[in-house]
Amino acid sequence: MWNQRYADDAYIYGTDPNSFLAEHAHILIDPVLSLAEGEGRNAVFLASRGLNVYGVDGSEVGLAKAQKLAQSQGVEIQTEVADLGLFKPPAHHYGSVVSISAHLPSPIRNRLYPLVERCLKPNGIILLEAYSENQMTRDTGGPKDLDMLMTCAKVEHEFPHCEPILIRELEREVREGKYHTGMASVVQFIARKKA
């Protein structure tokens, strides 16, 4: 499904970074693991700020576009095609993990998120934005599957070893390509791994 979506030459989520990430990028610690990186807009932005970024995604078409975008902007990013249902990041390796619109079913999250916490160094940062369960009734983006949508309670529960710095659900205008197109309910989460 994702390879098909990305088959378009155009960048379907745009080439500008997610605005929540851009606003809070100063808090990120190097190196950065980006989950479900897609076509590279966020990784390229972070690399342009001098961060070393490792982007993982299940779509080889998306990540090929990510590398093309990086080249066009004169930055380097590392990418790996992998199913996040099987992906195992190295322990205590990353300063930060970024997850933007990386909607995953709960069985995958329940396996992956403990590994995400483990892959962070002490005091490492997780930054996540996802559509919330309240997005179910809107047609402005995100999966039509309650299980894959987030709430503040879910995110806090699923990262028990991280101390929230910011955790909120809000409505905001999301205009990030043709699938993210208007007023939306999102959960935003920034947390620090407990030392």
Ligand X SMILES: C[S@@+](CC[C@H](N)C(=O)[O-])C[C@H]1O[C@@H](n2cnc3c(N)ncnc32)[C@H](O)[C@@H]1O
Interface residues toward ligand X, by CB under 6 A = 2, 13, 18, 36-38, 41-42, 57-59, 62, 83-85, 100-102, 104, 108
Least CB distance to ligand X at residue 178 (A):
12
Least CB distance to ligand X at residue 124 (A):
19
Whole-number Å distance between alpha carbons of 56 and 53: 10
Q: Which two tokens stand for residue 20?
A: 């929540």
Residue with smallest beta-carbon separation from ligand X: 38
Whole-number Å distance between alpha carbons of 67 and 78: 8
- The residue among 13 and 189 lying less far from ligand X, judged by its C-beta, is 13
Say whether 87 sits in a helix, a strand or coil. Answer: coil
Whole-number Å distance between alpha carbons of 24 and 115: 23
Cβ of 163: how many Cβ atoms within 10 Å?
11
- The residue among 79 and 159 lying less far from ligand X, judged by its C-beta, is 79
Rg of the chain over all Cα atoms, to the nearest angstrom? 15
Least CB distance to ligand X at residue 70 (A):
14
Least CB distance to ligand X at residue 78 (A):
16
- The residue among 9 and 194 lying less far from ligand X, judged by its C-beta, is 9
- The residue among 82 and 165 lying less far from ligand X, judged by its C-beta, is 82
Cβ of 28: how many Cβ atoms within 10 Å?
22
